[in-house]
Amino acid sequence: MNTPRILIAGTGSSVGKTTIATGIMKSLNYKGLKVQPFKVGPDFIDPSYHSIATNRPSRNLDSFLMSEAQIRWSFSHASKNSDIAIIEGVRGLYEGLNAISDIGSTAHIAKILKAPIILVIDIRGITKSAAAYILGFKQLDPDVNIAGIILNKFSTRKHAEKTVRAIEKYTKIPVIGTIPNEMEQVLQQRHLGLIPMAEFKGKQEIITNMGGLINENVDIEQILDIANKTEEIKEVKEPLWNKNEELSKQRIRIGIAKDSAFNFYYQDNLDAFSENGAKLIEFSPVKGETLPEADCFLIGGGFPEIYSQEISQNTNFLKDLKNTVMENLPVYAECGGLMILSSKLVTTTGDKYQFANIIPSNIIMMTQRQGLSYVEGITTKNHPFLPPNSLIKGHEFHYSKLNEISNTIFGYKIRRGKGIDGSNDGICINNTLASFLHIHIASNPNFAIDFLKLAFKRKD
């Protein structure tokens, strides 16, 4: 497969990757091109920007969560019927699982997919030193193809011109864009990174501004030229999820909480359910909606703490959710989903909001981060739908904790990461599992099938 592709990487975090990558996607979209977006790493928020810019679901590519073959399959599967693929990196180009491994890094994805890199650098306060900086990135790994540079946050046009001359003289890499400091102040940030697109009212205006920023300051034709010179990559047949044809005929209905509070879902996970015949029925707890008629339910992550008042006032939803769990319908909840299953949410200022009172514990919001890690776990015999001793992989990132976990039954034994108590995750209550862990289906291709089988068994 030879879809033209480019990877937008950064010299570090907060150098402007998301603004620039999303702006490039929108700029190419203006040209009438079908753009397939991707995000390196486990992040949920950046892909929400990509999807608005391209009108296509953005996918995550992660070499900790996925095998190299799965990464190639995911890329080729999602890129069908597209004109170009734009991949946004994570953190700095070489940051990965640890200080010496490629795994989990942007560079690793670039090498697996033979993707040329456009490197974004924040040049505030530097000119010639930027060339030295980029030379280090170029020489650290000769297998990484840095094909172009975008300078972000220059102070004056003279500052930009001096920096361009130095970089092109000493590195021989073309500078294809220069963006002034005042023009990159487009986005807001929260403790998990950027504000999710689901929370913005003026989504299209924000994305349009990003596209305009790129059109004015970046050579889009040069990006297309670089993308069109990519090497072909072998198409592989190692899908991220398995399919069960008999199960597909049952048309299991899944109620899925999806709104400004609950929007952290991997597109690949949702596709695994859909391709096994499930019908996804969206509903919004924040807007006062209750559970739809369904056979099972997904309640994903997000920022329910921001919408605690709206959720606590939706008493029909909270009551129906508790009844659903007690009646043994399958419910799978991740992070934000776990939070609303608790008794109450206690904010950092001590305010309390009543939640579903299914897990007999309050969820406490902390000022310090409580979990940030890739996670590996092994299922226990208590897991409601996965077989015992199954491997699962995912990530955790949260500022909340449970204040009472005695007598808790867990579905995962954690061997990497923190989980709920440092050793365990996945609270099991009847056919419900609630975890801080966000699972990616690549580590367990039968995940969707096993959940749907439980729903069918309960329905039957």
| CA–CA dist 112, 238 (Å, integer) | 15
**Residue 137: exposure state from Cβ atoms within 10 A (0-12, 13-18, ≥19):** buried
| CA–CA dist 320, 42 (Å, integer) | 31
| CA–CA dist 222, 420 (Å, integer) | 48
- Contact of 156 with 129, CB cutoff 8 Å: no
Maximum Cα interatomic distance, the chain, rounded to a whole number of Å: 72
Q: Which helix (H) or strand (E) holds 248?
A: helix 245-248
**Residue 390: exposure state from Cβ atoms within 10 A (0-12, 13-18, ≥19):** middle
Catalytic residue among 123, 160, 223, 335: 335
- Contact of 415 with 369, CB cutoff 8 Å: no
- Contact of 363 with 400, CB cutoff 8 Å: yes
* Token pair 């209750």: residue: 290
* Token pair 């329905």: residue: 459
| CA–CA dist 423, 437 (Å, integer) | 12
Q: Is the dihedral of CA 370, 58, 412, 392 positive or negative?
A: negative
- Rounded to 10 degrees, what is the CA torsion of 369, 375, 381, 387? 140
Q: Which helix (H) or strand (E) holds 84?
A: strand 84-88
- Give CA angle at 328 (322, 330), nearest 5°: 90
Residue 44 token pair: 């949920």
* Token pair 């992070």: residue: 335
Q: Is 335 a catalytic residue?
A: yes
Positions annotated as catalytic residues are: 335
